[in-house]
Amino acid sequence: MIEKFELVRDLLQKRERTLASIGMCVVALLLGYHVFTGSNGIRVYTQKRAENQKLQQEMEQLKKENENLTQSVRSLKSDPNAIEKEAREQLRYAKPGEVIFVVPEQKRPAPPNSASNQVIPAKP
């Protein structure tokens, strides 16, 4: 009986290393899977990084636009030429003696109605 117990124990000790190695491999695979597909994995990280770069570019563009608008406001507050230019373009102001010609916008013809293009047979 003791020999059987020792035989089983020896067999388990030999298999113990193999089972431990297999278990560690399974844990490593699960951990690797989680690193790639988890909620904070590499995929999500690359998506967030691309979104961050896009937002940084948008922010830079908005800063430039803001600077241009600020410069425009400054010039409209102090530069008489800028004020005159805006008044002429937007409000269609003219100096005394000047004549402004306004060209009317051409209306585009309406697209033909499919019902009006149908041929109606004559009644006999």
Structural domain count of the chain: 2
- What is the spatial distance between Cα 120 and Cα 41, in angstroms, rounded to a whole number? 67
Looking at the structure, tell me whether residues 2 and 28 fall in a common domain: yes
Average pLDDT, the chain: 83
Looking at the structure, tell me whether residues 29 and 55 fall in a common domain: no
Residue 124 has pLDDT above 60, yes or no: no
* Distance set, CA 70 to CA 67, 74, 76, 81, 121 (Å): 5, 6, 10, 17, 67
The 10 Å CB-count burial string (b at 16+, else e) for 76-92 is: eeeeeeeeeeeeeeeee
- What is the spatial distance between Cα 61 and Cα 120, in angstroms, rounded to a whole number? 59
The answer as to whether 113 is a domain residue is no
Q: What is the pLDDT of residue 123?
A: 63
> Domain containing 16: what range?
1-37
The answer as to whether 122 is a domain residue is no
The answer as to whether 109 is a domain residue is no
Q: What is the pLDDT of residue 117?
A: 54
Looking at the structure, tell me whether residues 33 and 2 fall in a common domain: yes
Residue 4 neighbours by CB distance under 10 Å: 8
The answer as to whether 111 is a domain residue is no
pTM assigned to the model: 0.48
